[in-house]
Amino acid sequence: MPTMIAALTLSAPVPAATPLWAAAWTVDWDALRRVASLADHNTRVVLLGVVLLGLAGGVVGTLLLLRRRALLSDTISHACLPGVVLAFLLGELWFGGGRSLPWLLLGAAIAGSSGALAVHWLRHRAGVREDAALAMVLSVFFGAGVVLLSLVQQAPGGGAAGLSGFVFGKAASLTAADARWIATLSSLLLLAVFLLRKEFALLCFDETHARVQGWPVRGLDLALMGAVVAVTVTGLQAVGLLLVVALLIIPPAAARFWTDHLTTSMALAGAIGAGSGAAGVMLSALLPRAPAGAVIVLAASTTFALSMLFGHKRGLCARALRRHRQARAIGRDHLLRAIYECLETKGITDRASASRNQAGRLPLPDLAHHRSWTDSELRALVRHADADGFVARLANDHIQLTRAGWDKAARLTRNHRLWELYLLHYADSAAAVVDREADVMEHVVGQDVADRLERLLENQVPRFAVPDSPHDLGGKAGPLPRVGSPHAEPDARREVGPTP
C-alpha cells in the first residue's frame, strides 16, 4: 500500500532503477485483494452501511429535487454541526459518553430540523425571501458549530478529537458498530419512503390537488423534510456534512437523463448513490489518506457527467442526435420535392418515366439552382437520399429517383401544395410567400393534418393527385399526375435503379 500511495502522490523517491510507470504498477495486491474480496469483516459492514446510505440518499433526493428544495438539504446538513458538538458536550457532562454515535446523531437531527424550521419561519413569518433565508440559516448555524467545535477541541482531555470527522467524513475508519447504525437507519428510511411513495409523488407533482383531495399536505411535507434530515444525519459520519448534500442531489440529477418515469428514476438514483458509496469505500480503503466523502462525491459526479452526455432520454448526445436526424429528414424532403418540381417543369409526371427513362435523369447543377444549396450541401443531401433508397446516383453527376423516391416525392409535393392552397384560400397569404410558409409548416404536420386539408380543399383538388403549384416554378407545369394513395408507405426501397 505505501508503494502505491508513493506512486500516486509522487512524494516519495522512486528508486532510479525502476521507471516511473513500473513503480505505478507495483500495487499492494494484497490490500487490493482484501478490499475486493471483502475478506475483512469491518470492510463488509462499512460497505453495506454506505451502500444503503447511498440508496436512501438517491431515493429521497429524487423527491427532494422534484419538490424543488435542493438547497434546503445543504442548509440542513450545515445546520447539523452545532447539534453534533452540543450533543457531545452534554453527553460528556451528563453521563460521560458523549462519543456514542446515536446520541451525536440525535443532536444533529435536532439541529438540522431546527435549521429547516428556521428557514420556514423566516420565509413565512418574517417575509425573508427563500434564497436569503437559506443562506442566512446555513451560515449562522455553521458558524455557531465551528465556534463550539474550536471551544470543545481546546478543552483538556482530547475526547473531541473525532468530532472534526463529521465535517469531512471518515468512511474508511468507521467502526462496524457505526456502520450498523447507518445501515439500520437507511433501511428504515427506505421502507418509509417506499410506503409513502404514492403520497410523496402526489405532493411533489401537484400540491394543490393533494390539498383538494384532503391529504395532509403540511404533514407530508414535514415527513419529506424529515427524510432529508434523516439521510443527512445518517450520512454525516461517512461522508461529512460538507458533502452529504451531494448524495442527495447528484444521483437523482444523473438519473433524470435516463428516464421519464418516477419509479425508475428513484431506483436509478438509488443505484447510482449506492454505486458511488461502494466506490468511495473501496477507494478509501486502498488510499487511506483520501477522504471517503470526497471520493464518493467524485464517483457520483463522474456518473453525472457520463449521464449528462450519454443519457438516452435527455442526454446531450441523444438530443443532438434527434436534432441531427430531424434536420436530415427535412433536408431530404426538400431535395425530393426539388427533384419532383424539376421533373415537372420538364413534363415528366409519372413514376415510370421518372424512375426508369433516360428523361428522368437530372444533372445536379439543375437542382442546385432550385434552392440556395451550395454544391457540397447538395452532394451531402443526395448521398443521404441515396443511402435511404430514394435516389440513385448515376455517372456524370446525374441522379434519378427510385420508385420509392418518386412516391415519396409526389406525396411530399402534394402535401406542400395543399398547404400552399390552404394558406392562399384560408389564411389570406400572398402567393409570393406561401411557398416559404408551407416549407416551414409541412414538416411539423403529420398525415392526419394532410387528410384534413384534403377534405377542406376537396372541391379544388382532384383526389390523390398532386395539384398544380399555385405559384410559378420557373418553368411550364405539366398535367396532373396520378400517384398512389397518400397513405401507403412506399414498400420498395431500392427496387429500380438506372435503366439503359
Give the E-state strand segments of 287-390 in sequence order.
Answer: 362-363
- Assess 428 for contact with another protein (CB under 8 A): no
Does the CA dihedral 90-94-96-101 come out positive or negative?
Answer: negative
Place of cell 444503503: 52
Choices 130-138, 179-187, 205-213, 364-372; region in contact with another protein by CB under 8 A: 205-213
Work out how close the CB of 214 gets to another protein at its nearest, in angstroms, rounded to a whole number. 4
CA distance 202 to 47: 33
- Assess 213 for contact with another protein (CB under 8 A): yes
Give the total of residues touching another protein (CB under 8 A): 25
Among residues 68 and 289, whose Cβ is nearest to another protein? 68
- Assess 212 for contact with another protein (CB under 8 A): yes
- Assess 127 for contact with another protein (CB under 8 A): no
- Assess 222 for contact with another protein (CB under 8 A): no
Choices 25-33, 118-126, 192-200, 433-441; region in contact with another protein by CB under 8 A: 192-200
CA distance 341 to 337: 6
| Max Cα–Cα distance, the chain, nearest Å | 103
Which grid cell sits at 205?
407533482
What contacts 323, CB < 8 A, 6 or more positions away?
Answer: none
- Assess 125 for contact with another protein (CB under 8 A): no
C-alpha closest to that of 361 among 468, 496, 498: 498
- Assess 307 for contact with another protein (CB under 8 A): no
Instruction: Choose which of 262, 290, 330, 364 interacts with another protein (CB under 8 A).
Output: 262
Instruction: Choose which of 33, 129, 209, 425 interacts with another protein (CB under 8 A).
Output: 209
* Residues 237-256 contacting another protein, CB under 8 A: 256
Among residues 203 and 339, whose Cβ is nearest to another protein? 203
- Assess 198 for contact with another protein (CB under 8 A): yes
Q: What are the C-alpha distances in Å from 291 to residues 7, 43, 150, 169, 189?
A: 18, 16, 21, 7, 26
Work out how close the CB of 444 gets to another protein at its nearest, in angstroms, rounded to a whole number. 12
Question: How many CA atoms lie less than 13 Å away from 380 in the CB half-sphere?
Answer: 9
- Assess 326 for contact with another protein (CB under 8 A): no
Work out how close the CB of 215 gets to another protein at its nearest, in angstroms, rounded to a whole number. 7
Helix, strand, coil percentages in the chain from 3-state DSSP, rounded to 5? 70, 0, 25
- Assess 196 for contact with another protein (CB under 8 A): yes
- Assess 312 for contact with another protein (CB under 8 A): no
* Residues 480-499 contacting another protein, CB under 8 A: none
CA distance 35 to 495: 62
C-alpha closest to that of 409 among 349, 353, 328: 349
CA distance 146 to 140: 10
- Assess 316 for contact with another protein (CB under 8 A): no
CB 56 within 8 A of CB 270: yes
Work out how close the CB of 85 gets to another protein at its nearest, in angstroms, rounded to a whole number. 37
- Provide the 3-class DSSP secondary structure of residue 391: strand
Instruction: Choose which of 25, 94, 205, 426 interacts with another protein (CB under 8 A).
Output: 205
Among residues 208 and 372, whose Cβ is nearest to another protein? 208
Rg of the chain taking only CA atoms, in angstroms = 34
Q: What does DSSP say about strands 391-393 and 398-401: parallel, antiparallel, or unpaired? A: antiparallel
Choices 153-161, 207-215, 234-242, 394-402; region in contact with another protein by CB under 8 A: 207-215
Work out how close the CB of 323 gets to another protein at its nearest, in angstroms, rounded to a whole number. 16
Choices 72-80, 149-157, 257-265, 425-433; region in contact with another protein by CB under 8 A: 257-265
- Assess 356 for contact with another protein (CB under 8 A): no
Q: What are the C-alpha distances in Å from 175 to residues 46, 163, 244, 270, 498?
A: 7, 15, 19, 24, 78
Instruction: Choose which of 260, 289, 376, 491 interacts with another protein (CB under 8 A).
Output: 260
* Residues 42-101 contacting another protein, CB under 8 A: 66, 68
CB 270 within 8 A of CB 321: no
Place of cell 439500520: 184
Instruction: Choose which of 56, 72, 204, 336 interacts with another protein (CB under 8 A).
Output: 204
Choices 172-180, 261-269, 339-347, 487-495; region in contact with another protein by CB under 8 A: 261-269
- Assess 126 for contact with another protein (CB under 8 A): no
CA distance 158 to 153: 7
Give me the residues that bind another protein (CB under 8 A), please: 66, 68, 195-196, 198-199, 201-202, 204-206, 208-209, 211-215, 256, 259-262, 264-265
